[in-house]
Amino acid sequence: MLKTEALNVFYDEVQALIDVSVHVHDREILAVIGSNGAGKTTLLKTISGLTRPRDGRILWQGEPIEQEPTDRICQRGIVQVPEGRRLFPQMTVFENLEMGAYLPGPHEKAHDTIQHVYQLFPVLKQRSKQMAGTLSGGEQQMLAIARALMAHPKLLMLDEPSLGLSPKAASEIYTVLQHLHLKGMTILLVSQDVLQALKIADRAYAMENGRIVLEGSGADLLRDPAVKEAYLGL
Ligand code: ATP
């Protein structure tokens, strides 16, 4: 579905991605794990078109997209839930959801999509008139995911969805992701919560200092001694 080929990304002279080649299959959960500064966020931002590679290619269903504008990439169905959620705190839950459907296709279907999203997240329906900034952390993360769903993603990319949440709220978010996966959504998940991410991932990559250093099934990486030592403290 999505493939990156030898991506090299720089911030001035700092190289954040070095020859990064990854692929995402249709309907899988792919996790990218790694510690702070490994390059995970940069990978997502480069796929979304927010950061441009110096060289390398990004193929979406076989077509190159690395030079496309971000709105066109989003229109293709690649939708990112950013780190820190980036909600509009002074707007209601409902208004935040509407903002997720600003592109023409999703806009026309917004009324039906919102009902679907409310079924998935009943708490958002209960709080539809509440300001987003007054929700709990877990509810805000649900709203960020729900807002992305309003855009009808084919590939949902999530950057650290459980960061800063209580264990209970984090576990609810991972349950939602598994539910979306069962319904056929393709998910690219970037996380420092290595244990949870690998538990739900079909496949995973580990990144270090801008490079992919390991690749395997979620279960394989969970058993890998290097992963256990570096990320799980075992
Ligand atoms: P984290 O989980 O802490 O965000 P990460 O794995 O997502 O880490 P990135 O945020 O992609 O890593 O950062 C990769 C490297 O690029 C780091 O060395 C970081 O300092 C650098 N970097 C990231 N964003 C910028 C920027 N806007 N300007 C300069 N350097 C940056």
Between CA 234 and CA 223 the distance in angstroms is 11
Q: Which of 229, 166, 213, 232 is nearest to 38 (CA)?
A: 213
Residue 164 neighbours by CB distance under 10 Å: 13
Give the pLDDT score at 124: 94
In ligand 1, which atom is closest to the CA atom of 43? 11
Give the pLDDT score at 131: 94
Residue nearest to atom 26 of ligand 1 (CA): 11
Q: Which amino acid is at 127?
A: R
Give the pLDDT score at 234: 67
- Distances in Å between the alpha carbon of 42 and those of 135, 215, 223? 28, 18, 27
Q: Which of 55, 44, 31 is nearest to 80 (CA)?
A: 44
Between CA 23 and CA 6 the distance in angstroms is 11
* 16 CA from centroid of ligand 1 (Å): 7
Would you say 115 and 145 are in contact if contact means Cβ atoms under 8 Å apart? Answer: no
10 lines ligand 1 (CB under 6 A): no
113 lines ligand 1 (CB under 6 A): no
Per-block mean pLDDT, blocks of 10 residues, the chain (234 long):
97 96 97 93 96 97 96 94 86 92 79 90 93 92 94 95 90 93 96 92 96 95 90 77
Would you say 33 and 192 are in contact if contact means Cβ atoms under 8 Å apart? Answer: yes
Give the pLDDT score at 105: 77
Give the pLDDT score at 33: 95
In ligand 1, which atom is closest to the CA atom of 210? 14
- CATH class name, domain 2-77+154-232: alpha beta
Each domain of the chain, given as residue ranges in start order, spans: 2-77+154-232, 86-152
Residue nearest to atom 20 of ligand 1 (CA): 37
Q: Which of 193, 206, 161, 198 is nearest to 38 (CA)?
A: 206
pTM, to two decimals: 0.92
